[in-house]
Amino acid sequence: MVEWGKRFLTGAIAVPVIFVVMQSKLLIFLFVNVILFISTSEYNKIVSQILQLNSAQMEHGYIKGMQSVLSHIPSHLFIVLVTLLPSDGAIHCALFISIVFFCLHRIFHFLSHGTFLAQKKDEKDTYIDRRFYILTFIQIAFDIFGFIVFCYPLSFMIVLSNQPDGIGYVLLWLISTWQTDNGALFFGAAFGNRPFLKLISPKKTWEGVTGALFFSMLTALFLFMYMKQGTWHPILLPSIPLKHYLLISALVAIIAISGDAIESFIKRAANVKDSGTLFPGHGGVLDRLDSLAFSSPVVYFYVKAVLGV
């Protein structure tokens, strides 16, 4: 059952906070890092759950030990580098550095537990069960997957915010994504009867997909009308034709739905409903970040390639 009251209250608090944050690049930087820390913690918890569900009891201690605070460093290092050097080249360089850090961190963790994991082969020699090698490798794969899917895309909005009308495009991206989620939930709850992804998320329906696209594009129309009337206080929306507002919002809706489906698949694998409980009626940070992360590069490349910003 949809908790509309909690969702509305959470939104009523979150929206003003976002608008205040967007007034300062320092606040944006701090806010992104806070959100990233919480979402990474939620993701690591889900990964740990997946690994424990598919491993023996004797391996659970090692799995839990892999979810350390140090696993947060590559993502935050990435955001710091992109913020200091907001360019396409910096994104690629920071991406490589962060992935290398992920790999080295997990390998050092494995090596530091070598004595604990070692078993006697004979009186003179010991060995480590292959399962621990495999678990470490799988953890590295999960680290890189989570980083590329949930962290890496946010860098595009950081770079875009430094472009002309950049904050306006970020605002359009945020609102379109939020309304995609709201439209999917409202239409799905009110009219949904044809499953969209039954094996992954039984409550998702084709009616919800239609509502997501409709809400996103309708909101874009209203934003365009406000933009034409004059200054949008305290943030100026981009002065672009209506077709671009509608196209951006439509692309955001389609890609956001894909991101939500992928996160639903990950949660299904871990046998959890929500990634967390930070946002009443919404779930965790990761539940809000999935759609935003996936749609971020689409908006960035549209603005760069089509609008030539």
3-state secondary structure 111-152: HHCHHHHEEECCCCCEEECHHHHHHHHHHHHHHHHHHHHHHC
Residue 198 has pLDDT above 60, yes or no: yes
What Rg, from alpha-carbon coordinates, does the chain have? 21
Highest mean pLDDT among 21-25, 42-46, 160-164: 42-46
The better pLDDT of the pair 231, 225 is held by 225
The structure's pTM equals 0.85
The pLDDT of residue 270 is 87
What residues contact 165, with CB distance under 8 A and at least 6 apart?
A: 236, 238, 239, 309
What residues contact 25, with CB distance under 8 A and at least 6 apart?
A: 83, 161
Cα 85 to Cα 80: distance, rounded to the nearest angstrom? 9
Cα 283 to Cα 97: distance, rounded to the nearest angstrom? 31
How does pLDDT run across 47-94, given as a tens digit for each residue? 999 999 888 887 888 888 887 788 888 888 888 888 888 777 778 888
What residues contact 294, with CB distance under 8 A and at least 6 apart?
A: 149, 153, 255, 256, 258, 259, 262
Cα 192 to Cα 185: distance, rounded to the nearest angstrom? 9
Q: Cβ distance 246 to 221 under 8 Å? A: yes
Give 231's pLDDT tier (boundaries 50, 70, 90): low
